[in-house]
Amino acid sequence: MPHIAEWAMLKGITVMGTGDFTHHLWLEEVKRNVEDMGNGLFKYSSKNKPRSDVYFILSSEISSIYSKKGKTYRIHTIVLAPSFKTVDAINDTLSRYGNIASDGRPILGLDVQELARIIFGIDERCMIIPGHIWTPWFSLFGSMSGFDKIEDCFEKQTPRIFALETGLSSDPAMNWRLSALDKFSLVSNSDSHSPSKIGRESNVFDCELTYQSMHDVLRRKDKSKFLFTIEFFPEEGKYHFDGHRACEVRFSPRQTREHNKICPRCGKALTVGVMNRVEQLADRKEGFIPPDAIPFKNLIPLDEIIAEVKGMGKDSLAVEREYRGCMAKFDTEFDILLWASEQELRKGLPQGLADAVMKVRKGEVRIQPGYDGEYGIISIFGNEKNKDPQETQLKLF
């Protein structure tokens, strides 16, 4: 918890999901480190930065693998709860359906609509959000194991679902092509596999800092309080295009159709990615914007931008040192990526880095789309020569 809170402060995040509340050891860690605010949020207070509090919302992800009408489905679902009492009741009930202590994201042989019925029966204030809804193998609309309609998945529980998570490999614009999704709030979150990856995708609210306020904003799809989402460039997601990683075959939807979904090198079936699946279900043309759509902004994490400017790996010591130096000047990563003016960036950052951040803000990037579990490759400068004298000197030495 201290590590997650530290990185949330660096990123500029006010509310973090705890993740994994179904795991008893992690839940103990959460309970030890937070103060219950009595409004569905839980505060972590930093000893080093007394005024830099991070709030947590109780969250978990559940993997459901089950058969329905002769077909096997694999669905990941995010559950948000308003209290430890509710979480304890959820865990007690779900433990009867599987070993929830085996993993942070437990696998249950439980129909998703039954899972929703159980959780809403415990506390109707809970939020159930289908996770990364287009990922091929484990999602609501996944090409390999999902449904064509949300009603077929959640059945009678569908009216109680009011938000969907777009996932790294899709952005809101891709989801706007399906009129059936217009009534849902589209949220963006990113798995925190390591603390530095926090905030690759986020949601920007302007509402009271309580669980119920965020619940109501999402339920009503309130544009005045749900301002925008922060998105990965979807092409960078590892299931954006179709392909076969073992053979290094990367296909657009058109190329996949031309090859009848078969890898031309080995003859095996291709993994059909997010873009293709969206096109299969879409009833609108690309570029359509619904009148009540929540805006979004595509960003690249700051450490990746620094790494490209320096021509080094993002895990290198030089990149980490530069990152920490930026934080000393601008307080948070989102200050740099979102809020600071161009003048402020050019005053506080090396020339090459300031140029790169501005190019990302304008969407001036080149990307080789990800496919079949392989992340896309993003380039800000391409073949351009980024002539920052300071950076050139650093490389020479």
pLDDT in tens, 220-273: 999 999 999 999 899 999 999 999 999 999 999 999 999 999 999 999 999 999
Q: Report whether pLDDT(36) > 70.
A: yes
Helix (H) or strand (E) holding 389: helix 389-396
Residue 324's region, left for phi above 0, alpha for psi from -120 to 50, else beta, is: alpha
pLDDT score, position 47: 72
Give the whole-angstrom CA distance, residue 98 versus residue 194.
27
Q: Give the single-character DSSP code of 146.
A: -
Return all residues near 340 (Cβ < 8 A) that are at least 6 apart: 330, 348
Q: Are strands 71-81 and 107-108 parallel, antiparallel or unpaired?
A: unpaired
Q: Tell me which residue of 376, 75, 379, 378 sits closest to 240, measured CA to CA.
A: 376
Strand (E) positions, 163-264?
A: 163-165, 185-187, 202-205, 226-231, 242-244, 249-251
pLDDT score, position 389: 41
Length of the chain (residues): 397
Give the whole-angstrom CA distance, residue 51 versus residue 57.
19
Residue 179 CA, distance from chain mean position: 22
Strand (E) positions, 121-193?
A: 127-130, 163-165, 185-187
| CA-atom Rg of the chain in angstroms | 22
Return all residues near 121 (Cβ < 8 A) that are at least 6 apart: none
Q: Report whether pLDDT(397) > 60.
A: no
CB atoms within 10 A of CB 133: 27
Q: Tell me which residue of 390, 397, 370, 395 sits closest to 169, measured CA to CA.
A: 370
Give the whole-angstrom CA distance, residue 220 versus residue 212.
12
Give the whole-angstrom CA distance, residue 278 versus residue 283.
10
pLDDT score, position 194: 84
pLDDT in tens, 325-346: 999 999 999 999 999 999 999 9
Q: Report whether pLDDT(204) > 90.
A: yes
pLDDT over 70 percentage in the chain: 95
Give the whole-angstrom CA distance, residue 325 versus residue 354.
14
Give the whole-angstrom CA distance, residue 301 versus residue 299.
7
Q: Tell me which residue of 6, 23, 24, 17 sits closest to 55, measured CA to CA.
A: 17
Is residue 150 within 8 Å of 140, Cβ to Cβ?
Answer: yes
pLDDT score, position 191: 76
Confidence label for 80 from pLDDT (cuts 50, 70 and 90):
very high
SS3 390: helix
Return all residues near 267 (Cβ < 8 A) that are at least 6 apart: none
Return all residues near 4 (Cβ < 8 A) that are at least 6 apart: 16, 54, 192, 195, 198
Residue 322 CA, distance from chain mean position: 25
CB atoms within 10 A of CB 68: 14
Is residue 132 within 8 Å of 168, Cβ to Cβ?
Answer: yes
Confidence label for 45 from pLDDT (cuts 50, 70 and 90):
confident
pLDDT score, position 391: 41
